[in-house]
Amino acid sequence: MKKVLLIGTGFMAKEYAKVLKGMNVPFDVVGRGQKNATLFEKEFEVNTFIGGLDKFIEINDLNNYSHFINGSSIDSLKSTTIALLENGAKKILLEKPGVATSEEIEHLYNESKKYEDATIVLAYNRRFFASVQKAKEIIEEDGGVNSLTFEFTEWAHVIKTYDFSDVILNNWFLGNSTHVVDTAFYLAGKPKEMSSYRKGSLDWHPTGSTYTGSGITDKDALFSYHANWEGPGRWFLEVITPKHRLIFKPFEKLQIQEIGSVQVNEVEVDYSLEQDYKPGLFNQTKAFLNSDYINFCSLEEQRDLINDVYNKISGY
């Protein structure tokens, strides 16, 4: 029987709770603070332990659970995942980006290798957007991606008002912008050659504020990217096949341009699940619970992306 232990009581944990409730999958929750945990238990009518994962493990057997969803805060993702591994967890869905800093990924990856029977996958839910999965079908029908471009501009004037730790703010590209970059390279292949440029800095993000670059993926798709965190902009992705231009602006909806036409039309996609749940989350959770990992980012893949791509783009 499937039973989930959900770690965290913040925003993402609440979104997972909605999905698990909708699936009728039994689950318990581990929170740290009294206030959030109490509100969580009241809202979802689910057993919610207060005091954090370490205390929970002291008095509970993790063998009572088949699956684990780590939805804790970014700066505790690494430590909670290691604690889960050390105490017998075998199937872990780890919220993106999995670690708070690029330095942490090697430690987490090396620790995970001690537990060969455990599976850890990253929860980049945009891979499971109805729009992205439909685009994947079109790409396969069209014969692959020829080229693509994407933008990961962040709204610095808003972010600087957030109450986040310096670690999270200083690594904002890893913690947030990789939503865009991961989706782009999920559809078009991983970079095999890349030139990256950056300039500027922000008080809370000293390694850069303006980014541009280009390269070629292991599927021979040419790509370019741009972001200016000090100017107006938005996230977007455009993928070009031999027959179509696929446009994600916003990511939740897929638009298409036919070859020989300037007309841009919305693609007919079943978005019904995304009206009730955070986009991509229901099908992501379903795939995880069914051990269907083909569309997930593995921990090894994330390590390689951080070391070979994300650090080069961001300057971390």
The model's pLDDT over 30-56, given as tens digits with 9 standing for 90+, comes to 998 888 888 898 899 998 999 999 999
Do 238 and 309 belong together in one domain? yes
Residue 37 has what pLDDT?
84
**Residue 43 domain-assigned?**
yes
Q: What is the number of structural domains in the chain?
A: 2
Do 148 and 115 belong together in one domain? no
Domain span at residue 162 reads: 127-271+297-314
Q: What CATH number did the domain enclosing 25 receive?
A: 3.40.50.720
Q: What is the DSSP letter of 33?
A: S
Q: Is 208 helix (H, G, I), strand (E, B) or coil?
A: coil
Burial of 253 (0-12, 13-18, 19+ CB in 10 A): middle
**Residue 285 domain-assigned?**
no
Report the alpha-carbon distance of residue 56 to residue 195 in Å, rounded.
47
**Residue 276 domain-assigned?**
no
Q: Which segment of 121-125, 146-150, 157-161, 225-229 scores lowest on mean pLDDT?
A: 157-161
- The yes-or-no verdict on residue 110 having pLDDT over 90 is yes
Give the predicted TM-score (pTM) of the model: 0.96
Of 73, 93, 123, which residue sits at a domain end? 123
Q: Is 91 helix (H, G, I), strand (E, B) or coil?
A: strand
**Residue 292 domain-assigned?**
no
pLDDT digits (tens, 9 = 90+) for 214-264: 999 999 999 999 999 999 999 999 999 999 999 999 999 999 999 999 999
- The yes-or-no verdict on residue 182 having pLDDT over 90 is yes
Please give the average per-residue pLDDT across 170-187, as a whole number.
Answer: 98
